[in-house]
A and B are shown apart, each in its own frame.
Chain A
């Protein structure tokens, strides 16, 4: 198979970008060119991020917000400076940014805090509590991280879980939006961009309905913050969550952004050091957000690393990143359409769609597809992608998923299409 001429020219100089990522210089499976197509799971890191973490440890390492020595001051400045950079990256105020371990913890923080509100001794805290008969709404395309915490919160409070369905093309079915988000709905939690289907969900439409019934809106931005410009004010939601490791940053850090007044009303999730105001033997009071939600020694080096990742992405330009991935996705969808027996699970065109592309190849199991690709140097994700109910919705067990980022180019897509052809030949379905 020969490579096709891309329909559009890319917005990015990928050769230059690739040179910034040490891992992308290595080879795979006995000297083969590495084609990394699993950024939806986790991204690779540019040198500037690795250097920033190293520099922090080499020059400024100390416990943040504790002690009064010079290193402590420098570490605190680095940590709080990182918070400002990350806030700017999503159009937020730094005081509304809470650092967590990852997006999963950020979502759990919200769910547990709302659960703890039932025991709050303040009126504002109590106002957040859920009662039996209240409703939490999610969607059928959620990652387990944005489903199980809500199932558990329902179990603890007696609230009921309801969800928006997904149509055959992989878009949310909004025809029943007004019935599903009803007057008793207190929380609407949904993903900005599906990690399986690639679908970008219509935030404004869902937010408008949620506002009409005064429900809180939690937006899982794990797959959008790394790939498109985000502005929390424009989004109009109450919470935004994402993970550093999917956006060129280190593991061990996630972000919860919350609307100022909502964060202020919320009781803590994790408790301990760093989040207290005064402590007595039998009770304690807590500081204001964001520290109220950051119990324990803060993740300083990770915050510094994530800030460096935001700087890198900002220098490239998030609009360019989005444009580039859009071109790759269009090109990939065209290429995949040329393979007989291949079925894309998710929108077949790049309209309102990001660069996570899931598919089935005849009845070859996704594991087997993944293995053949891996032997040829292509790293893709196979399985249910932590979205088991979505798999069930499509009556399938697993898909193969290729996901793109700023360091992928058209030749990576060509390699994917060629290798899928090879997989078909190998398993004798050609």
Chain B
């Protein structure tokens, strides 16, 4: 389960910072273990220009959020949500998923996590926070324009 790539991201996380300025901020908690994340996104013209996250959690949740940040920054919100959907499907596959390497890139390293139901929520913590924040940011910009 602990691929080298996971341990690398755990030790040197990408995007672990307080992002300023930002368009949306969310706070997510995993009530079974108490892990928390505060995540901010900056979205310009429908493109995720930056993701920043803070909080504490296990190596899986930290590394997964870090890999996600690397993967999603620079994509359109729509592309980012497609990657998110692919990652969610992989995590829910109970070890039977065929990861789409083209879509998920480094995030395929988490395939093994899907065999451990108790850890799937850890891997998803950052991703769910991102999805929530991105949708809030988009909704806000639609409201601002109208």
Contacts and interface: CB of A to CB of B under 8 A. Distances in A.
B79 interface: no
B2 A367 contact: no
Interface string B107-123: 00000000010010010
Interface residues of A, number: 16
Contact of A384 (B33, B56, B58, B59): B33
Interface-central residue, B1, B58, B122, by most chain A CB under 10 Å: B58
Contacts of A368: 58-60
B119 A383 contact: no
A371 B11 contact: no
Contacts of B32: 383
Contacts of B36: 397
Contacts of B132: none
B59 A382 contact: no
Contacts of A37: none
Interface in A361-391: 364-368, 371, 382-384, 388, 391
Contacts of B119: 367, 371
B74 interface: no
A119 interface: no
Contacts of B34: 383-384, 388, 391, 397-398
Interface residues of B, number: 17
Contacts of B35: 367, 397-398
Contacts of B86: none
Interface in A133-166: none
B11 A367 contact: no
A397 B11 CA distance: 19
Given A365-B57, A368-B58, A398 B2 contact: no
Contact of A382 (B7, B11, B33, B116): B33
Lowest 4 CB-CB distances: which A-B pairs, in order?
Answer: A367-B58, A365-B58, A384-B34, A383-B33
Interface of A: 364-368, 371, 382-384, 388, 391, 397-398, 426-428
